[in-house]
Amino acid sequence: MQKAFDIGLDSLLADKSAAEAVFVTGAPHRGTFYLETFGCQMNEHDSEKVAGVLLSRGYRQVDSVEAASFVLYNTCSIREKAAQKVFSRLGEFRDMPGEPKKIGVLGCVAQQEGEKIFHRSPWVSLVCGSASYSKLPELLAQLEAGEKRVTGLDTDTDETFETELTRRDNPWRAYLTIIEGCDKACSYCVVPYTRGPERSRSSDSVLRELRQLAELGYTEVQFLGQTVNSYADPSPRKMKFSELLQAAAEMPGMRRVRFTTSHPRDFSPDIVEAIEGDTRICNHVHLPVQSGSSRVLRAMQRTYSREEYLEKIAMVRNAKRPIAVTTDIIVGFPGETEKEFEETLSLLEEVKYEGVFSFKYSPRPNTPAQSMPDAIPEEEKSRRLAILLKLQRKIQTEANEKSVGKMFELHVEGKSRKENQWSGHTSCHRVVNFSSPQPNLLGSYVRVRVSGATPNCLIGDHAP
Ligand code: 5AD
Ligand code: SF4
């Protein structure tokens, strides 16, 4: 079998149809697969690895359900809407004409609903949660041998999912999972149930994969984990998370190292020191706060108060190098009073986040918050969300306007259909759309002077 990363850089740099170009020598031809992913970056990256497993078994990736003999959905259940989407997709196969297809459900809905999926959608033949992905080759072998229904639903595991081949979709930024699962117990969250307990990869294995990525030509990596900074090296080397960031930054060829998502409780000064000390470690942290009210934070079991969170923010804001901070907020948690919601607004005013992802609370199965009293009506949640979005828009507009005239280094990731128009990210993860007459900028690093701003992006010109 072809080894990991033997795919030439050219195929990685092409668009999604690169999958078609991947040729795995020695594997039998087993048909075609279509894989659709819902949810977070962890899911996106899991799918890249699942695709790698399928490709190395001799399946070929196609980009439509119609063209596929095997259809897989990698699902998300963080909020109810995401979970519902999958069931509507599965429903489409009820009366689908033509050859029956093999259907697989992966990810968080698979873990949460388990074998119930077979009852609801009897045409499904594979149900597998992320904690069982390392068993995928075995499960696929069972399906290929003619078994009608196979499952991978254990979460009681200390294994992480490592593949020989990863079919990377993003040619500019490589994702690399360093820790899977979650040991926190936020009262609203399904993740500890669907992704299982925390498991960290050994630092050697992380750095080996990183070296392969650098050799392939990647210059930017993003470490992933539900609580990435809770990383605990299981090997005798016992590298701290901040040391792993430093080692990654020192990898020849790497120019940018990112990480997401950080948990405030484990966000320690050495992480800030690492960012201060090495410009290859990106000056952006995603530090979800969820609420600005200490009472609500306690009910959410977040393990910190508003004041403790603000101490972490002060540590970041006092760094020698400016560090951008983004966050996640949940509005309308059960029992959240108007005053408590206003505490969240005042926190936004105080921190002045560079970006906020905000959500209406959605009750999830098996979570303690699901049975909490004083649910907030849907319209009230929508009202609070709209107020919060408006405030954050104002904060971002003001901050972005202050960036006019400044210079940023961008990693160019997009080319607009409009001539001479490009886009990229700054180290602090702002999107900048800019003009340049130069050809072939994709993947390169350029200096751009900001000439204008909108709430969500900056506008600039390539500086000579
Ligand atoms: N309802 C609404 N938002 C949620 N999140 C997690 N669980 C829920 C829920 N039940 C949000 C949190 C988390 C982000 C990934 O999704 O803000 O940080
Ligand atoms: Fe969910 Fe909390 Fe774990 Fe994040 S830290 S995945 S919100 S339980």
Query: Which residue, by CA, sits nearest to atom 2 of ligand 2?
Result: 186
Q: Is 422 in the pocket of ligand 1 (CB under 6 A)?
A: no
Contact 133, 46 (CB under 8 A): yes
84-143: per-residue pLDDT in tens?
Answer: 999 999 999 988 888 889 999 999 999 999 999 999 999 999 999 999 999 999 999 999
Q: How far is the CA of 361 from the centre of ligand 1 (A)?
A: 7
Query: Which residue, by CA, sits nearest to atom 5 of ligand 2?
Result: 184
Query: Counting atoms of ligand 1 from 1, which one is nearest the CA of 261?
Result: 18
- pLDDT(8) > 60: no
From 402, 408, 442, 407, select the one nearest 422 (Cα to Cα): 442
CA 247 to each of CA 204, 239, 251, 269, 376: distance values in angstroms, whole numbers, following the listed order: 11, 10, 7, 17, 46
Q: What is the mean pLDDT of the chain?
A: 92
Query: Counting atoms of ligand 2 from 1, which one is nearest the CA of 192?
Result: 8
Q: Is the dihedral of CA 18, 24, 29, 33 positive or negative?
A: negative
Non-local CB neighbours of 211 within 8 Å, separated by 6+ positions: 251
- pLDDT(3) > 60: no
Distance, in Å, from the CA atom of 427 to the CA atom of 287, rounded to the nearest integer, reads: 16
Contact 257, 223 (CB under 8 A): yes
Q: Is 199 in the pocket of ligand 1 (CB under 6 A)?
A: no
Beta bridge partners of residue 200, listed in sequence order: 179
383-442: per-residue pLDDT in tens?
Answer: 999 999 999 999 999 999 999 999 999 999 999 999 999 999 999 999 999 999 999 999
Q: How far is CA 167 from the centre of its chain?
A: 16
CB atoms within 10 A of CB 272: 21
Q: How far is the CA of 78 from the centre of ligand 2 (A)?
A: 10
Query: Counting atoms of ligand 2 from 1, which one is nearest the CA of 261?
Result: 4
From 214, 269, 198, select the one nearest 247 (Cα to Cα): 214
To which residue do tokens 């254990």 refer?
A: 154
CA 21 to each of CA 7, 67, 443: distance values in angstroms, whole numbers, following the listed order: 9, 16, 21
Question: Residue 30 — very low, low, confident or very high, per pLDDT cuts 50/70/90?
Answer: confident
Question: Residue 29 — very low, low, confident or very high, per pLDDT cuts 50/70/90?
Answer: confident
* Assigned token pair, 253: 């060829």
Q: Is 262 in the pocket of ligand 2 (CB under 6 A)?
A: no
Beta bridge partners of residue 408, listed in sequence order: 448
From 62, 45, 36, 70, select the one nearest 130 (Cα to Cα): 45
Which phi and psi angles does 444 have, rounded to 5°? Answer: -95, 170
Q: How far is the CA of 126 from the centre of ligand 2 (A)?
A: 27
Q: How far is the CA of 261 from the centre of ligand 2 (A)?
A: 10
- pLDDT(18) > 60: no
Distance, in Å, from the CA atom of 370 to the CA atom of 359, rounded to the nearest integer, reads: 16
**Which residue among 188, 193, 302 is best mutated to probe the pocket of ligand 1, counting the most ligand atoms within 8 A of its Cβ?**
188
Q: Is 40 in the pocket of ligand 2 (CB under 6 A)?
A: no
What per-residue confidence (pLDDT) applies to 50? 97
286-317: per-residue pLDDT in tens?
Answer: 999 999 999 999 999 999 999 999 999 999 99
What per-residue confidence (pLDDT) applies to 16? 33
- pLDDT(20) > 50: no
Beta strands in 166-306 (DSSP E): 173-177, 179-180, 199-200, 220-224, 256-260, 284-286
Q: How far is the CA of 210 from the centre of ligand 1 (A)?
A: 30
Q: Is 357 left (phi over 0), alpha (psi -120 to 50) or beta?
A: beta
Which phi and psi angles does 196 have, rounded to 5°? Answer: 75, -175
* pTM of this structure: 0.92
Beta bridge partners of residue 412, listed in sequence order: 424
* Assigned token pair, 117: 């999926």
What per-residue confidence (pLDDT) applies to 24? 56
Cα angle 76, 300, 284 (rounded to 5 degrees) comes to 65
Q: How far is the CA of 189 from the centre of ligand 1 (A)?
A: 6
Distance, in Å, from the CA atom of 404 to the CA atom of 128, rounded to the nearest integer, reads: 49
- pLDDT(26) > 70: no
Distance, in Å, from the CA atom of 50 to the CA atom of 300, rounded to the nearest integer, reads: 33
Cα angle 41, 47, 48 (rounded to 5 degrees) comes to 95
Question: Residue 162 — very low, low, confident or very high, per pLDDT cuts 50/70/90?
Answer: confident
